[in-house]
Amino acid sequence: MIKLLTKIEQDYGLPVAISFAKQAIEQNNPFARELKTNKTTKNESYIIANLLVWGSTKQGHKYWSNISKTINEVYSISYSDLEEYAAKDPNKSITLLEAMEKAEGKSTTLAFCENVLSNKSTSTFYPLLKELKQTELKWSIKKAIFTGFDWKVTKEGNNFWCDIYERNLEKTRYNLTMKMIEEYAKHTNIKTVTIDTIQKIKKEPKMAMIAPFNKGSLDIKGIMHQAAKGIKDDRPFVVALINEELERVKTIIKNNPRDTFNYEGYDIRVHYYVNLILAAKARLDAAIPGNICTPFINISAQLAVDFYAYEKLVKKNANYSWIKSYLTQENMQKPELTLFKSNKLHIFIEEGYIYLKDFTKNVIYNAPVMYDKNTNKFYL
Structural domains in the chain (count): 4
- What is the predicted pLDDT for the residue at 211? 86
Q: What is the pTM of this model?
A: 0.54
Is 147 a member of any domain?
A: yes
- Kindly state whether residues 234 and 311 are assigned to the same domain: yes
Distance in angstroms (rounded) separating the CA atoms of residues 44 and 321 = 39
Q: At what angle do helices 141-148 and 158-167 cross, to 10 degrees?
A: 160
- What is the predicted pLDDT for the residue at 92? 64
- Kindly state whether residues 258 and 345 are assigned to the same domain: no
- What is the predicted pLDDT for the residue at 131? 62
Domain span including residue 140: 94-201
Domain end point (choices 201, 223, 248): 201
CA distances from 196 to 110, 200, 204, 286, 353 (A): 13, 7, 10, 37, 35
Is 133 a member of any domain?
A: yes
- What is the predicted pLDDT for the residue at 41? 79
Q: Going from the first residue of the chain to its last (380 residues), give the mean pLDDT of each consecutive group of 10, the final group possibly shorter.
A: 80 82 87 81 76 82 81 84 84 79 86 80 51 68 82 80 79 80 72 43 54 88 88 88 93 92 93 89 70 55 92 93 94 90 92 88 87 91
Is 208 a member of any domain?
A: no
- What is the predicted pLDDT for the residue at 379? 92
- What φ, ψ does residue 111 adopt, rounded to 5°? -60, -40
- Kindly state whether residues 186 and 220 are assigned to the same domain: no
- What is the predicted pLDDT for the residue at 179? 78
Q: How many CA atoms lie within 13 A of 14 on its CB side?
A: 15
